[in-house]
Amino acid sequence: MTENNRRLAEEVARREQAQRNLLQTQDELIQAAKMAVVGQAMTSLAHELNQPLSAMMTYLYTSRMALAAGESRQLGLELDKIERLGQRMGRIITALRNFARKSPQACPLIRLDLHELAEQALLLVETRARRDGCRLHNELPRDLWIQGDPGLVEQVLVNLLVNGLDAIAGRELRQIRLLLLERGPRLVRIALCDSGSGYGEEILPRLFTPFTSSKEVGLGLGLTICRSLLARCGGGISLGSTLERGAMVVLEFTVDEARSLASDAAHDSWE
């Protein structure tokens, strides 16, 4: 019995170590995927920031002219323009820095506004979308509260947006939409739809299998990583098709419990 207990303890220890190694490898793959997105963003970031910087220099010149002429109203307008450009540059840099930060293996789930998180994800791919002539539509309502980790959810959204941009490259109609499918007391379901050719019938059942990809270039790990990240947040992912036969990715999130209870209480009080 003592020998059996010893062997059992060793087996448990081996399996725990294997699980830790698996999580570490998974986190390294996730971080590598993040750095790939950051690398793509950096190629156009200089251009994205150079335009507002040039405009700010022009506004500074006209501000000095307005100050010298004593035109306080015009000076205020020019300073407002500079402030807005500075805020936009700050949002881009902050979004990129937060996205690149490595997420810990275990992190508490917090209350998130999915609309705002989607805006941050869209900001990271906006330059590429503009270059490719793709229109991005965030049709999620504001105050769409869920439970999750902001870094993990944003990683999922960016991965799927990049996949969508790859899928619609070169097509006549190029657009990606984020829209709400269901908003229940315990579950929020959204969809990311693109105007591409959709998923092939043969490969569709295997797309969540590692190293399976519908793209000519790619490791085939994107959807697998997305499913793993959503599982950490208590969510899920599934694939479908739009009425126009484009690809649809359905994401499920748990609703913020405190918010849900408050809404139920308010509804009961009203009744």
Which strands sit side by side in the sheet containing 236-241, from one edge to the other? Answer: 135-138, 175-183, 187-194, 247-254, 236-241
pLDDT recorded at residue 261:
45
Does residue 109 surpass a pLDDT of 60? Answer: yes
Q: What is the pLDDT of residue 94?
A: 73
pLDDT at residue 112, as a whole number: 92
pTM of the entire predicted model: 0.63
Q: What is the band of 244 on the pLDDT scale with cuts at 50, 70, 90?
A: confident
- pLDDT of the residue at 103: 60
Beta strands in the chain (DSSP E): 110-113, 135-138, 145-148, 175-183, 187-194, 236-241, 247-254
Residue 181's pLDDT band (cuts 50, 70, 90): very high
Average pLDDT over residues 190-211: 74
* Higher-confidence position of 125 and 213: 125
Beta bridge partners of 137: 177
Give me the residue label for tokens 């022009």: 58
pLDDT at 267: 40
The predicted model gives 129-153 an average pLDDT of 90
Contact 195, 136 (CB under 8 A): no
Q: 3-state SS of the chain: helix, strand, coil percent to 5? A: 60, 15, 25
Mean pLDDT of the chain: 77
Q: Which tokens sit at 153?
A: 């959810």
- What's the chain's Rg over C-alpha atoms? 23
| % the chain with pLDDT above 90 | 18
DSSP 24-72: HHHHHHHHHHHHHHHHHHHHHHHHHHHHHHHHHHHHHHHHHHHHHTT-H
Query: Which phi-psi region, left, alpha or beta, contains residue 215 (left: φ > 0; alpha: ψ -120 to 50)?
Result: beta
Can you tell me the distance from the alpha carbon of 81 to that of 152, in angstroms, rounded to the nearest whole number? 34
* CA gap 80, 76 in Å, rounded: 6
